[in-house]
Amino acid sequence: MGKIFEYFGFIFYFFSNEHEPIHVHVKKGGEECIFDLIIENGQLIGVERREKTGADPMNSKDESVAVDFIRVYWKEIVEKWVSFFVYRQEVSNTKINKKI
């Protein structure tokens, strides 16, 4: 598991053997979801939630916070995805302590 961001109790991470589309796993407490980043022509046009098998889904408030975070930090998520999956480099975990 490659943890990429921590944000007020949310953990954003990749699994080491992933697939496209670019997506990020998000966990808060015992709840977890997967969010696909929908990118066209170099722009984020959407974020789509998928439930993770075997995990309790996030409540709507936490899901909304996670989506807002992804919309703000999507370029960094993509950069870390490319570094991790294309270049096979380790990515650092970034702690965000400023509310978005």
pLDDT of residue 1: 63
**For 18-30, b where at least 16 C-beta lie within 10 A, e where not — what string?**
eeeebbbbbbbee
* Number of Cβ atoms within 10 Å of the Cβ of 100: 11
What does the pLDDT profile of the chain (100 residues) look like in tens digits? 689 999 999 999 998 877 889 999 999 999 999 999 999 999 999 999 998 889 999 999 999 999 999 999 999 999 999 999 999 999 999 999 999 9
| Total-model pTM | 0.94
pLDDT of residue 99: 95
